[in-house]
C-alpha cells in the first residue's frame, strides 16, 4: 500500500452525536506501519460523550471507535511484529513521543503527546479518525497482538473497557483478599467484575438497574446491591469495601457511597461524567479514605491484560450489531440498556450497505 487509500467510516457531524456514512483517507504505509482491515469495533461510552461534544467541542466530522480488532492486510518494509493475515488490535492511542519519562516507564498513555485514536489533531491540522471504519493505519509499536484464544468480537472491548479497569486494579494494589465494589454495571463495570473475579476478589456490584441482579452474579459478582432501592440493602454493606471502582458515565455523587468503605479504603474513578464531584472533607478524613483516578493503560500493560484475559478465558459479553444500528445502540447505551458492550461487525459497512438508521 504505497499510496493513501479511501475507506468508508461512520462519523458524527454535530452534538446530536448521530453518525452517518462518510469516506475518509488512510495514510500511505510508512515503513513501521500496518494496515488493519477492521472486523470489529466496540462502542465505548467515551465515543458517545465525544460524539455529543460532552467533553468540549468535538472536531466534526468525528469518526469514533477505539476498541478495534481486525486483520493485517499490508505491512511496511520494516514491520517485524505482524505478518499479513494475522489479527491485530488498536486501543485508545496510536502514538506518543517515545522519549519522555512516562514513555520510558511504560506509561505511554500518560505521555504529554499521546495521539488519541480519534479526535487527535495532527501537526498538519487534520484530525485522527477511529475504528468505526473499514480500516486503519497504525505504527506496529502501538498495535496489539490478539491472543488466539480470544474471539474478535469479545476481544475488541478489552482494548478500552478491559485495560481501563485492569490498569487501576494493579496500580492501586487490589489483591485477592480485598472486597471491591463496582459502581455501574456497563461496559467497564462488567469487565471489572470478570477481572476481579478471576483474581479471586469478593465483588459487590452497586447498580441502579434491578434487571442486572442475576446477570451480575452470573458474571462472577458475589453480591448485588441496588443503589436506588431500599436503604436496608445499602446499610447491609456499610463499612465492608476496601475499594470502589466508579465506572458511572452520568452525573452522580460518588461520596454517597463513602459509608460503604472500610477505613483506609480507596475510591478509583474511571467514569467521566461532565459535572465535578463534591468531596466533603469529613467523608475522607474520618476513615482515611483516598480517591484517585485512572486513564486507560499503556501499550505493554494492554498486551499484558490481553494475555491475562486469554489465560482466564475472559472476553466481553457483546451484542454484535451491524453498522446500520449504531445510532440505536448509542440511545440504548444512554439508557443503560446494554449487556454489556455493543460491538459493530465492521464487515457490514460497505459502499452498498444501508444508511445508519436514526434512533
Ligand atoms: P456504560 O456501558 O454506559 O456503563 C455506565 C454504567 O453507569 C451504566 O451501565 C449504569 O450502570 C451506570 N449509570 C448510567 N447512568 C447512571 C446514572 N444516572 N446514575 C447512576 N448510574 C448510572 O459506559 P462505559 O463504556 O462502561 O463507560 C463508563 C464511563 O467510563 C464513561 O463515562 C466513559 O467515558 C468512561 N471511560 C473512562 C475511561 C478511562 O480511561 N478512565 C475509559 C473508558 C471509558 P447500572 O445500570 O448498573 O447503574
Ligand atoms: Zn473507551
Ligand atoms: Zn512521551
Q: How confident is the model at residue 308 (pLDDT cuts 50, 70, 90)?
A: very high
pLDDT over 90 at 192, yes or no:
yes
pLDDT in tens, 232-241: 999 999 999 9
117-127 mean pLDDT? 95
Q: Tell me, what's the pLDDT at 317?
A: 98
Q: How confident is the model at residue 276 (pLDDT cuts 50, 70, 90)?
A: very high
Ligand 1 lined by 51 (C-beta under 6 Å): no
Q: Ligand 1: which of 55, 184, 203, 294 to mutate, most ligand atoms within 8 Å of CB? A: 184
115-121 mean pLDDT? 97
pTM of the model: 0.97
Q: Tell me, what's the pLDDT at 359?
A: 79
Q: Tell me, what's the pLDDT at 290?
A: 97
Question: Which ligand has an atom closest to residue 192 CA?
Answer: 1
Average of per-residue pLDDT values in the chain:
97
Q: Tell me, what's the pLDDT at 2?
A: 76
Ligand 1 lined by 210 (C-beta under 6 Å): no
Instruction: Please give the distance, rounded to the nearest whole angstrom, from the Cα atom of residue 211 to the centre of ligand 3.
Output: 44
pLDDT over 80 at 1, yes or no:
no
- In the block, cell 463499612 appears at 239
Give a three-class secondary structure readout of the chain.
CCCCEEEEEEEECCCCCCEEEEEEEECCCCCCEEEEEEEEEECCHHHHHHHCCECECCCCCECCCCCEEEEEEEECCCCCCCCCCCEEEECCEEECCCCCHHHHCCCHHHCCCCEECCCCECCCCCECCCCCECEEEEEHHHCEECCCCCCHHHHHHHHCHHHHHHHHHHHCCCCCCCEEEEECCCHHHHHHHHHHHHHCCEEEEEECCHHHHHHHHHHCCCEEEECCCCHHHHHCCCCCEEEEEECCCCCCCHHHHHHHEEEEEEEEECCCCCCCCCCCHHHHHCCCCEEEECCCCCHHHHHHHHHHHHHHCCCCCEEEEEHHHHHHHHHHHHCCCCCCEEEEEHHHCCCCCCCCCCC
Ligand 1 lined by 157 (C-beta under 6 Å): no
pLDDT in tens, 194-222: 999 999 999 999 999 999 999 999 999 99
Q: Compute the distance between CA of residue 348 and CA of residue 54 in angstroms, rounded to an integer.
A: 28
Q: Tell me, what's the pLDDT at 320?
A: 98
Q: Tell me, what's the pLDDT at 353?
A: 93
pLDDT in tens, 131-170: 999 999 999 999 999 999 999 999 999 999 999 999 999 9
Instruction: Please give the distance, rounded to the nearest whole angstrom, from the Cα atom of residue 106 to the centre of ligand 3.
Output: 9
Q: Tell me, what's the pLDDT at 174?
A: 98
pLDDT in tens, 162-181: 999 999 999 999 999 999 99
Residue 288: which region, alpha, beta or left (left: phi > 0; alpha: psi -120 to 50)?
A: left
33-38 mean pLDDT? 98
Q: How confident is the model at residue 262 (pLDDT cuts 50, 70, 90)?
A: very high
Question: Which ligand has an atom closest to residue 205 CA?
Answer: 1
Is the model more confident about 115 or about 274? Answer: 115
Q: Compute the distance between CA of residue 84 and CA of residue 18 in angstroms, rounded to an integer.
A: 34
Ligand 1 lined by 187 (C-beta under 6 Å): yes
Question: Which ligand has an atom closest to residue 164 CA?
Answer: 1
12-21 mean pLDDT? 98
Q: Which residues of 111-132 are buried (b: 16+ CB within 10 A; e: fewer)?
A: beebbbbbbbeeeeeebbbbbb
Instruction: Please give the distance, rounded to the nearest whole angstrom, from the Cα atom of residue 247 to the centre of ligand 2.
Output: 11
Ligand 1 lined by 184 (C-beta under 6 Å): yes
Q: What percentage of the chain has pLDDT greater than the value 90?
A: 97
Q: How confident is the model at residue 13 (pLDDT cuts 50, 70, 90)?
A: very high
Instruction: Please give the distance, rounded to the nearest whole angstrom, from the Cα atom of residue 83 to the centre of ligand 1.
Output: 36
Q: Tell me, what's the pLDDT at 10?
A: 98
Amino acid at each position: 500500500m504505497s499510496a493513501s487509500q479511501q475507506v468508508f467510516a461512520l462519523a458524527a457531524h454535530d452534538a446530536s452525536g448521530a453518525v452517518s456514512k462518510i469516506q475518509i483517507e488512510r495514510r500511505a504505509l510508512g515503513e513501521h506501519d500496518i494496515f488493519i482491515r477492521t472486523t470489529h469495533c466496540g462502542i465505548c461510552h467515551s465515543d458517545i460523550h465525544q460524539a455529543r461534544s460532552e467533553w468540549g467541542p468535538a472536531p466534526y466530522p468525528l469518526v469514533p471507535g477505539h476498541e478495534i480488532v481486525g486483520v493485517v492486510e499490508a505491512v511496511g518494509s520494516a514491520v517485524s511484529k505482524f505478518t499479513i493475515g494475522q489479527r491485530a488490535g488498536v486501543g485508545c492511542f496510536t502514538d506518543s513521543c517515545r522519549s519522555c519519562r512516562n514513555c520510558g516507564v511504560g506509561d505511554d498513555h500518560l505521555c504529554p503527546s499521546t495521539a488519541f485514536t480519534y479526535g487527535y489533531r495532527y501537526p498538519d491540522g487534520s484530525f485522527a479518525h477511529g475504528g468505526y471504519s473499514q480500516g486503519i493505519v497504525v505504527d506496529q509499536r502501538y498495535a496489539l497482538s490478539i491472543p488466539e484464544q480470544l474471539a474478535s468480537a469479545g476481544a475488541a472491548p478489552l482494548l478500552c473497557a478491559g485495560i481501563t479497569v485492569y490498569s487501576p486494579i494493579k496500580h492501586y494494589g487490589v489483591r485477592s483478599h480485598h472486597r471491591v465494589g463496582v459502581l455501574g454495571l456497563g461496559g467497564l463495570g462488567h469487565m471489572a467484575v470478570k477481572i476481579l473475579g478471576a483474581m479471586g476478589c469478593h465483588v459487590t456490584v452497586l447498580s441502579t438497574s434491578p434487571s442486572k441482579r442475576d446477570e451480575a452474579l452470573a458474571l462472577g459478582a458475589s453480591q448485588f446491591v441496588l443503589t436506588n432501592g431500599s436503604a436496608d440493602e445499602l446499610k447491609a454493606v456499610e463499612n465492608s469495601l476496601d475499594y470502589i471502582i466508579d465506572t458511572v458515565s452520568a452525573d452522580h455523587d460518588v461520596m454517597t457511597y463513602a459509608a460503604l468503605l472500610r477505613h483506609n479504603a480507596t475510591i478509583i474513578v474511571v467514569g467521566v461524567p461532565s459535572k465535578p464531584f463534591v468531596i466533603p472533607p469529613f467523608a475522607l478524613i474520618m476513615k482515611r479514605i483516598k480517591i484517585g483516578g485512572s486513564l486507560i493503560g499503556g501499550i505493554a500493560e494492554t498486551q499484558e491484560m490481553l494475555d491475562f484475559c486469554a489465560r482466564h478465558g475472559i472476553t466481553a459479553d457483546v451484542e454484535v450489531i451491524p453498522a446500520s444500528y449504531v445510532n440505536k445502540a448509542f440511545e440504548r447505551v444512554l439508557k443503560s440498556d446494554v449487556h454489556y458492550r455493543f460491538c459493530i461487525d465492521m464487515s457490514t459497512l460497505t459502499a452498498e450497505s444501508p444508511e445508519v438508521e436514526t434512533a
